[in-house]
Every structure is written in structure tokens, then in C-alpha cells.
Amino acid sequence: MTDLWWFLSRATGIVATILAVAALAWGFFFSSRNTGTRLRPAWWLDLHNWLGGLALVFTAAHLLTVLVDRGSGIGVIQILVPNTAPARTWPMTWGVIATYLFAVVVFTSWPRRRFTKPVWRVLHLTSVVGVVLAGLHAYQAGSDARLLATRIGLLVATAVGTYALGLRLFGSRRRAASR
Ligand code: HEM
Ligand code: HEM
């Protein structure tokens, strides 16, 4: 039974990471208007919102399974307060901060109109730091981190995120220059 929760904690962590990276890439594709002509921009934004929301749902599932897994050494305090884990302290701290950032991003997005655009954007862009920290957490804390498949997966995730960020940065600059 212990193994079941351990496997589930790893599976939910991996799914949460994939969803967060996908949300990040979709966000950048949308805001740089690099979504092609086949599907409407609203479709991409809807998918982005779902991916982002689901990333938080799977993070919550990850935390629940980590809590139930007795071998993890993680309790409620270690989930809520950074730097309190008895082992793998810094890797766990990255996970705690990433969780808070995802929560901020998701819970400021549904009541988006309550914020001015610049404030909302700054809050939303903290998600980039969240995704990087989640990746670092997975790399440093995960039992599977030494597997070639995990390393390739993290490399692909980094490449996708960087490509999307590049499109956003250079696409916006090109648009500004052509105005
Ligand atoms: C882990 C969760 C999420 C991540 C990592 C994420 C990431 C991003 C990123 C990187 C952008 C591009 C911002 C820019 O280039 O200025 C973006 C845009 C956007 N996101 Fe998210 N997001 C997440 C969740 C959500 C959720 C849950 C919603 C809404 C319910 C949402 C709504 C939006 C909107 C409306 C934009 C377009 C902003 C614009 O260009 O005007 N996001 N997101
Ligand atoms: C309070 C925050 C968090 C805590 C306490 C936590 C705890 C843990 C623990 C104990 C492990 C080790 C499991 C193992 O033995 O392999 C782990 C692995 C992992 N976590 Fe988290 N986590 C947190 C947040 C996150 C977040 C936000 C994400 C991604 C969105 C995430 C993704 C992962 C991944 C991908 C692994 C590696 C799984 C594997 O190697 O198979 N975690 N986490």
C-alpha cells in the first residue's frame, strides 16, 4: 500500500509538471498571437485556462498523495512552510514556492477584472518562476530524476518553454517595430 501512494505521488507530480509547462507554452503562444489561423485565439486561451487550472488540481493531488505516503517524511507543515522538510530540504522548498505561485496565478485569473492589467500581468508572469522551480524540484527531489527518460523529458520541457518565450519576446519586438 505504501508503494501505491509513492507511485501515485510521482505520477501526479509528473502530470502536474507537464500540464504547467503546457499552460506556460500555450500562454506565450496566445499572447504572442502565434496560434495560426486554423483555430480561433479564444480556443487557445480556453485551452490555456484549462491547462493552468488542471496543473493546480494535479499539484493538489500530488500534495495529498505525498501526505498519505508515509515514506515521504512530509507533513502539513512541510507543505505549507518552505525549508522545513527534514530531507531534500531545498528541493522541497522549490516545490512549496512553486505551489504558492501556481495558486496565486490561478486564483487571480478567474476574478481577473478585479486587477488592473499591469498588476494582473506581473502576478501572472510569476508563473514562469513557478514552472522553473517545479522543474528544479522534480529534477532534485524525484526518485526518477536519474532515469534517462526523465532527463530527456525535462530537456524537452525546457526547450518547449524557451521556444515559446522566444516567440513571445521576439514576436512582440517585431510587431512593435512594424507599427
Ligand atoms: C499554472 C498555470 C498557468 C501558467 C503557467 C500560465 C502562464 C501564462 C503565460 C506565460 C502567459 C503569457 C503572458 C504574457 O506573455 O504576457 C499567460 C497568459 C494568459 N493567461 Fe495564463 N497561466 C496559467 C493559468 C491561467 C489561468 C488558470 C487562467 C484563467 C482562468 C489564465 C489566463 C491567462 C490569460 C487571459 C492570458 C493572456 C494574457 C494576454 O495576453 O492578455 N492563465 N499565462
Ligand atoms: C508543497 C509542495 C511540494 C511537496 C512537499 C512535494 C513533495 C514531493 C516529494 C516528497 C517528492 C519525491 C517523490 C519521490 O520519492 O520520487 C516529489 C517529487 C516530484 N514532485 Fe513534488 N512536491 C511539491 C510540489 C510540486 C509541484 C508544484 C510540482 C509540479 C507542478 C511537483 C512535481 C514533482 C515531480 C515531477 C516529482 C518527481 C517524481 C518522480 O521522480 O517520479 N511537486 N515531490
pLDDT per residue as tens digits for the range 86-110: 999 999 999 999 999 999 999 999 8
Compute the Cα dihedral for 49, 51, 56, 58 and give only its sign.
positive
pLDDT (average), residues 28-55: 92
Distances (CA, A) of 4 to 69, 120, 144, 150: 8, 40, 16, 20
pLDDT in tens, 64-85: 999 999 999 999 999 999 999 9
Closest atom, ligand 2, to C-alpha of 58 = 30
**Whose grid coordinates read 509528473?**
14
Say which ligand is closest to the CA of 157: 2
Q: What is the pLDDT of residues 144-156, one digit of tens each?
A: 888 999 999 999 9
CA 11–ligand 2 middle distance (angstroms): 9
CA distance 60 to 8: 12
Q: What is the dihedral of CA 116, 121, 127, 132, to 10 degrees?
A: -150
Nearest CA to ligand 1 atom 28: 49
pLDDT of residue 103: 98
**pLDDT tier at 174, thresholds 50, 70, 90:** low
Q: Is the per-residue pLDDT at 158 higher than 90?
A: yes
* Residue 7 CA, distance from chain mean position: 20
Q: How much is the pTM? A: 0.93
Across the chain, mean pLDDT equals: 93
Write the residue with the smallest CA distance to atom 35 of ligand 1: 45
DSSP state of 156: H
Q: Which of 68, 32, 42 is nearest to 174 (CA)?
A: 32
Q: What is the pLDDT of residue 16?
A: 98
The pLDDT of residue 175 is above 70: no
Could you tell me the pLDDT band of residue 171, with boundaries at 50, 70 and 90? confident
